[in-house]
Homo-oligomer: A and B are copies of this chain.
Amino acid sequence: MSKLVGSIKEAIVKSGLKSGMCISFHHHLRGGDYVLNMVMDEIAGLGIKGLTINASSIHDGHAPLIKHMADGVVAGLETNYIGPVVGKAISEGGLAKPVLFRTHGGRASDLETGRCKIDVAFIAAPASDCMGNCSGKIGKSACGSLGYAFSDAMYADKVIVITDDLQEYPFTGFSIPENTVDFVVCVDAIGDPGGIVSGTTRVTKSPVSLKIADYAARAIDASGYLKDGFSFQTGAGGASLATAVFLKKIMQKKQVTGSYALGGITGYLVDMLHAGCFRALQDVQCFDLQAVESLRNDPGHMEISASQYAGPASKSSAVSSLDVAVLGATEIDVDFNVNVHTDSNGYIMGGSGGHSDAAQECKMTVIVAPLTRKRYSVVVDRVTCISTPGSTVDVLITQYGAAVNPRRPELLERFQRYGIPVADIHALKEQADRLNGIPEPLCRDGKRVVANVQYRDGRIIDRIYQV
Q: A residues near B, CB below 8 A?
A: 1, 3, 131-132, 159, 168-170, 172-174, 177-182, 259-260, 279-280, 282, 299-302, 304-305, 307-308, 311, 314-318, 320-321
* B1→A181 contact, CB < 8 A: no
B-side contacts of A1, CB under 8 Å: 316, 320-321
State the main secondary structure of chain A at its contact with B.
Answer: loop
Known: A172-B280, A172-B302, A316-B131. A308 touches B259 (CB 8 A): no
B-side contacts of A3, CB under 8 Å: 315-316
- Could you tell me the distance between the alpha carbons of A197 and B280 in the complex, rounded to whole angstroms? 30
B-side contacts of A314, CB under 8 Å: 178-180
Q: Which residue of B lies closest to A299 (CB)?
A: B172
B-side contacts of A318, CB under 8 Å: 170, 178
- Could you tell me the distance between the alpha carbons of A178 and B302 in the complex, rounded to whole angstroms? 13
Q: Which of B131, B182, B305 contacts A179 (CB 8 A)?
A: B305
B-side contacts of A304, CB under 8 Å: 177
B-side contacts of A282, CB under 8 Å: 170
**Minimum CB–CB distance for A33 against chain B, Å:** 24
B-side contacts of A181, CB under 8 Å: 315-316
Known: A131-B321, A301-B172, A305-B177. A182 touches B260 (CB 8 A): no
Known: A305-B177, A311-B179, A315-B181. A172 touches B320 (CB 8 A): no
B-side contacts of A280, CB under 8 Å: 170, 172
Q: Which of B168, B174, B299, B315 contacts A279 (CB 8 A)?
A: B168
* B131→A178 contact, CB < 8 A: no
- Could you tell me the distance between the alpha carbons of A302 and B135 in the complex, rounded to whole angstroms? 14
- Could you tell me the distance between the alpha carbons of A159 and B307 in the complex, rounded to whole angstroms? 16
* A132→B177 contact, CB < 8 A: no
